[in-house]
Amino acid sequence: MRWALVLLVLGLAGIAAAVAFWWPAGSTTAHRTSATVVTPAPCGGRDAYDRVELKVGDQTRTARLDGCGHQESEVVEVVVPADTSGDLTVQAATSAPSGMPLETRLAVLLTCLSGMAGGLYAHLIGGRHRPQATASADAV
């Protein structure tokens, strides 16, 4: 009965780890749109940010592109943050992370499962070498 409880806990922990790492990522707070480069910047300076023009909602805004070296009037796919108030800085969509890759999720899941298997193995090995109390030892 005790082993069944240990295996049940380990199985439920494995299932919880699988659900946690394969659960679809929440909706991002940023969205993609097209922007047109209005003022290119050379990449050698400290302020190497191109200026782009894009449509946010129903208004056209000028934003700082987190990148440099584009041509004037070049159309760039960008990621716009959810908060568009104040000075707006956008990021090129090709360089924006899109979430945790499946390979990383799988690696984390397998690491968790191997840790649980190692813990179970240590528990099984540790249970075999426990000294047993004898009647003669208790009498002394």
Q: Taking the CA of residue 92 as centre, how many other CA atoms within 13 Å lie in the half-sphere pointing to its CB?
A: 14
Residue 52, domain extent: 27-119
In a domain, 136, yes or no: no
Rounded to two decimals, what is the model's pTM?
0.49
In a domain, 107, yes or no: yes
In a domain, 128, yes or no: no
In a domain, 7, yes or no: no
State pLDDT tens for residues 20-68. 766 665 555 567 888 999 998 888 878 788 899 998 888 888 999 888 8
In a domain, 124, yes or no: no
In a domain, 60, yes or no: yes
Total count of domains within the chain: 1
Closest by CA to 111, choosing from 9, 18, 6, is 18
CATH of the domain at 62: 2.40.50
